[in-house]
Amino acid sequence: MALKVFDLQCEHGHVFEGWFASHDDYDAQRARDLVACPVCDSKEIAKRLSAPHLNVSHLHAPESASQAPAMDEKAAVAALQARIMRQVRDLVRSTENVGPRFAEEARRIHEGEADERPIRGTATQEERAALADDGIEVMTLPSFLDDGQLQ
């Protein structure tokens, strides 16, 4: 089966390849929100301009040694990005979701009233500022790391 290979880019600038049975297959998968950035899980994807790949190796001399390392480096960076993203998502999944009680629970943990453990949840900007004023460090996570959006 011949596949169409598209260079894709998400709204955050991450570039990756997508392999599809046809242009129509790409369009259908996009319409069903099945195409997502492997780095940040964004579904805002655009096709980038790319030259078609034609298998004409029998017409040319073998690829120069200087071209091969560049492609290997690109693949290695993409693999590293994907591996880091999986580890970050695993870390987020291992936390307890305390929902809108986040500020209250973070304060209880800080004051020793609750067991120390990794938590996540929601807090208003004012709640986050109050926690910071009291020396309680918190970090805002991008929404694509939320369990409800993980795939």
Name which of 99, 100, 81 is nearest 89 in CA terms: 81
The reported pLDDT for the residue numbered 111 is 95
The reported pLDDT for the residue numbered 101 is 96
User: How many helical (H) and strand (E) elements, i.e. helices and strands, does the chain have?
Assistant: 4, 5
Contact (CB, 8 A) for 141 and 121: no
Q: Where are the alpha helices (DSSP H) in 9-151?
A: 23-31, 67-93, 102-110, 125-133
pTM for this predicted structure: 0.49
Contact (CB, 8 A) for 51 and 42: no
Query: Tell me: the pLDDT tens digits for 88-143?
Result: 888 888 999 999 999 999 999 999 999 999 999 999 999 999 999 999 999 888 76
Contact (CB, 8 A) for 96 and 118: yes
